[in-house]
Structure 1
């Protein structure tokens, strides 16, 4: 008998290590497809990268996909016509993963793209995964099955939903690495040797290192946060540590000028002598919301209420969503206002979401996995997450 939980943990560890391997986008997609094949079998897959500001497709990587004409029609439906499980709808609803069979209750031909494009090309069910983070939607992964193959099961959808945080982190890292290496970004990139010596640094990285400061300890060449995430990436990619136990090779840190930065690290290759790429960029407001929630000591329930406030839901709607009485929601709001020092819903959203965009406050601080805890225990705060 297959131990489903053991399979999930193994896949999570495998993908966690891929995230920290510093691959190109195409290599990352192929490696992820291979890692998923054993637990979510399919006849093909497609990774689309997107502009996070508009969710318009920017590039695609396909195995056993549609013909060019069929794909053009599919994109037209996706952008201009109503249909089931469209990317923009999934992202707006906060749905991490969904199968067409579940959305149509098994009648796939209710979907326009299935009737007009996919079925004529020999395809049946598809499982879509939105690759979103607090900074936006950077891409989308689709795995699909051919005619006469079983539909995707609910456990398979749940598994991919639980992996979206990792998958999204890996895609964003791959995109940042490619952009930084070609000089088309304001992201700083350092390439470190096994002794943390700097083999390569772009101009933006030099500015970030100056702003972070290396401290006064004799012989120190790099800020502590850079060395920390680099060592974490080596441990994870080398299989010595599990991501779920030690956390990702990523940290938020405040610079000498008072702004916040995100520092990420990925191993470029395999083995103890492989170099590490460290990426440095300004933290987006949405990335800081969970840290501010930690600082205010919001409980998991209060975080969930805050998320729904930021989405514009009324007290009654929040109560219906969380199965709470209206007066209970009001009690939570009073506690949230008191802890955050705000006096209204507008003030609260402005304080936590500087750019007025809702993000997840309830996802675990280590790896977002698409689930939300609703207990009333406060989350531990820490200087680096």
Structure 2
């Protein structure tokens, strides 16, 4: 299958309106015909923090091993880390090429992937002009040849299109809310579920066991679920935020002498920064069946045995607006116009605030309406702040 025919199929796939699990499976199958591989893993990420919020694995590693990969990603030096690839503007990269054929120069290969029976990997950064929405990894089992530069380049040429499809699947599908504003969608038994308190708290021990959990947090855990991840005890976003809270605490403490550096000098590498400020905060936004959720973590004390408090609360407009505006591909100026429209400002006031002519504001509005599939200001506000905030006011 050629990259051109793969691109044509991807274009059709992007506009099918699939949810993320179905989209991840379809993309994996499609790329498998272009670049043979034995497994795939698509991770969704919060574009603001790059923290993983969900994973969709086909013939890959079990949940415990994936959590170890995330720990390496957040806290330890390695080759071809997601943040390093994103910062370098690299759409795709093979581990074999980055390590010059010596895969064991990668910590995640030595600790996790090699013992799991895998060899080379091809990482694809799923980024658009509006942010990084996820990462896709293609695996080859031990004994198979490494990904060639031509294969890496072929997949890299499709990365933007795959990312656009993920952006649409993650944010633009399934936005409809229940008709009754006082309830959430029915549960498996068909009973209507009344919304819990907006905010909940749970406390995690170092082994990810739940030490404390209030009623609202329990509801959010049920909403998130663990999917079909073998051996998973927590939703991925919860485990990731907890690990990021620990990584931030580690960054604040004096660093211990570095271990032997096995990565090549030329390999793309992201090292633990000297200060916590260099790391993204322990927070992520994720979609649930009843609306968008903001997850935040903080370490309760010091040392490796300190528990982590995780707060879960329905995302408010300030947290949601940038994410949803990015989902529709609005430019920075279009986002500002949309924000002022949402505040009820007329065209003349928007023009004065942004130092534009009224005609230019109208042009921006036309573009915004086209991108969001709306036809009026009221329709626009409903689409951005109501349809995507399915947790209704009581």
Larger RCO: 1 or 2 (CA < 8 Å, sep 6+) = 2
TM-score (structure 2 length as normaliser) = 0.48
TM-score (structure 1 length as normaliser) = 0.49
